[in-house]
Amino acid sequence: MTFPDQFRPRLNAIAREAGAFLLAERQKFSLDAIEYKGLNDLVSYVDKECEKMLVPKLHALLPEAGFITEEGTTEQADRTLGTPTGLNWIIDPLDGTTNFIHGLPIYAVSIGLAQGSHPIAGVVYDPNRDECFSAVEGQGAWLSVNGADEQPMRVSPTQRLADSLIATGFPYYRFEQMQAYLQILEQLMQHTHGLRRMGSAAIDLAYVAAGRFEAFFEYNLKPWDMAAGICLVREAGGIVTDFNGGDTTLFGGDVVSGCAIQPELLGVIDTIWRQ
């Protein structure tokens, strides 16, 4: 797909506007506004209203694209998790809702664009640090901080898992695979510089693209957690697969992303995961 010159700047501006809304709402947010979609699966009016802001603006930017959204707040939105065909915006208006609710300033607006199951554009905007990570397929990955001129992003040059800082997430449901996951964590704790758990997969992936983490892995994810970040990592020169080394990541629920150490990390994960 060919994108016009102003596509990515306009996409970034939409994400920034949504991020400003999140910051404003956080100042007056009350715990009474929390709702539960499922076990430990939190949502608030902020998620829903932010999504309502995003959908019409993204529709105006690219009218031919459909929508796959986390909250399903509009008629255009589709929350079915089969593998769709065609062009779709895949958006998470507030990635890191639990952090947001508890006042932890690690959350982001995540907007991805996918052709079928292949992400082709994305932006992750962290309003607390005013960092805007964006990418379009074939055009590289870029970072703007505090509104300054964009700088190109590249994944870390690190070559060995032993020299790596790894990000991950902890599942909040489907605990039947927990023992295997804990074994993976045990291995990595002993053979890396350390593990970090940020609480926002979108930010984790953006940090891999920016070279801050060497890799990120997690399971039980949804497409809106990953769509933008997958594009960022790949355009920054990184590798993204599922836990089996395949390409079902976006709609498969698990991801292993990283720089040159990704195959070594994948080997650790795959060996334990398949036991």
Binding site: residue ranges? 70, 92, 94-95, 225
Half-sphere exposure of 109 (CA within 13 A, CB side): 33
Is residue 14 within 8 A of residue 54, CB to CB? The reply is yes
Cβ-Cβ contacts under 8 Å for 9 (sequence gap 6 or more): none
Q: Any idea of the CA torsion for 273, 205, 230, 6, to the nearest 10 degrees?
A: 180
List binding-site positions for Mg(2+): 70, 92, 94-95, 225
How far from 65 is each of 61, 99, 266, 273, CA to CA, in Å?
Answer: 9, 30, 33, 36
SS3 260: coil
Q: Tokens in use for 40?
A: 């430990």
d(CA 150, CA 144): 4
Give the DSSP per-residue string, 185-220: HHHHHHHSSEEE--S-HHHHHHHHHTTSSSEEEESS
Cβ-Cβ contacts under 8 Å for 219 (sequence gap 6 or more): 171, 177, 181, 243, 253, 254, 255
d(CA 232, CA 228): 6
